[in-house]
Amino acid sequence: MAFAMSLSSEKKSRSTIFFPDVVKTDIMNFIKENGELKTLKKGELISKDILLNNFIYLKSGLLFYIKRTNNYTKPKFVNVIIPNRLTDYHLLLEDNCTCCKSIKVARDSEIILIDKSLIKSLIKKDIELFTHFMFDANYFTERQTALAIFLLTSSPEDKLIKFLFDILVALKTAFSSKWLTINLKLTREEIADILHISVIKLDLMLGSLKKKGMLAKEKGGFNINTTLFNELSPCPLGREDAQGCKSNNMSKFKVKNMIEIKSY
């Protein structure tokens, strides 16, 4: 069985589930050329109208993408959105409600809004770029599904290890030394929300890792001993055939295999 630490940098990136993938260059250029730049303050909530009608690209700062659940003991899932990512591909083609989703500005941020209608118009104007949107939307959805299953079926300890690994990968950390620094500053409460656990449980796990010599707390962050990741699977669901969390379904999802989109 392969292990996550043995993957190349590109495959490490594909194996992350806690963070959306970096936006591809052609999509990013389209967003920057056609979008509207907005500056937001920490603590703001992005309005439902904006969420319903726009894609939201994070240029700088930090966002929390929050999805409500029906479990009163664990009422929400929280995704961390770091720069150069889209918050979601929600409602790419359909105009439905967003009642279970919200976006909170976790730190002062700059976002770019791109109207969904502009993306839909690419069906006629630039089918290749539209296809890239569709491909990335499917990939985003698959990773979100994997994350939900992982959070609901994994132990708190496994969730913490996977999250720490994903942070290091998302921040483009070179796995070249025994100790690695996490520079993303998150509060204990924020990490607990992301992992779908209690703050008390998080504190107990962090204390245990510190005693084992796997973690050293620094001001505003952590230093992690890479030994912690030695047995981490490339896939959070333990698929032995995983290639950086691109499942067989996504491997078959090629542009040439897409159903032809006809304009009427």
Question: How does pLDDT run across 113-147, given as a tens digit for each residue?
Answer: 999 899 989 999 999 999 999 999 888 888 888 89
At residue 258 the predicted structure's pLDDT band, cuts being 50, 70 and 90, is very low
Burial of residue 263 (number of CB atoms within 10 Å: 0-12, 13-18, 19+): exposed
Percentage of residues in the chain with pLDDT exceeding 70? 85
d(CA 12, CA 18): 13
CB contact set of 95 (below 8 Å; sequence gap of 6+): 52, 53
- pLDDT value of residue 98: 66
Taking only the tens place, the pLDDT of each residue in 164-197 is: 999 999 999 999 999 999 989 999 999 999 999 9
- Give the architecture (CATH level 2) of 154-229: Orthogonal Bundle (1.10)
pLDDT band at 48, cuts 50/70/90? Answer: confident
What is the structure's pLDDT at 237? Answer: 65
pLDDT for residue 220 is more than 70: no
**Where exactly are the structural domains of the chain?**
9-152+243-257, 154-229
Q: What is the mean pLDDT of residues 228-240?
A: 77
* CATH class of domain segment(s) 9-152+243-257: mainly beta
Residue pair 132/92 in contact (Cβ under 8 Å)? The answer is: no
Q: Exposed, middle or buried: residue 181 (CB in 10 Å: 0-12, 13-18, 19+)?
A: middle
